[in-house]
Structure 1
């Protein structure tokens, strides 16, 4: 059976740019809604109330399994099908923390290139994925640029407005 984690983000576009703020990872949709309600009262977030996005992410799956040859591309990213609706059918239970993997490097003084690799239930699995990806094109040129973040579930990761 597949297990999922839900990611709460806030994305907005103003006159000069688009910005994305990661608000948290959840295995409890009621907690996600509670956190969303709290964040919606912060300055900035309340100015863009339609910017909240929930992403359903399969746990323990590599969502970027190939390397890369160009800057910031979505080729290689394995998205969930659009018909895969947000629900609580396969929510993970009894985890306190998850391990999120990303890869980032600086292209130039104003551009970073970041790829979200996946969310994992334990550190050993996340470390194993990183070791395998270090051999892929692009990643092997920046093998030290993988980030594994240990993140507490069902917590607001953003403490103020913007």
Structure 2
């Protein structure tokens, strides 16, 4: 198995988990914040999509799906178009609202771009340095694993929050 095939499998699992989490969810559960101050499902899925979109696009030299495919306008959030959710305040978490269908459409588009990029990679590409701000510098392979880990964490949180909502 080639390294990009492993990455394709990992990102495919994220895509499946996002779909399963958003399938059949109602608007109330989507926006409900656990304990009133945890991150809502809508924020978690939007944030993981924005994180994957921004970081993969940067590493691949591509435009972000968020802007290039008009999702920033479709979501119409009261946030900077470059915002990915890192360091959000409670008010900013509340500001992220969208229906499940729009979240799915956005993440599907992000996933398609990620898959296209991953399919183009050879094992030697994963050693390319993409960030010199760290010691040691971050390679493409390390960055992609980091993105996958972050996304898996957030979709797991969203699935957990969905489970909490089902008991109400």
Q: TM-score, normalised by structure 2?
A: 0.31
- Larger relative helix fraction: 2
- Larger relative strand fraction: 1
Q: Which has the higher relative contact order, 1 or 2, with Cα contacts under 8 A spaced 6 or more apart?
A: 2
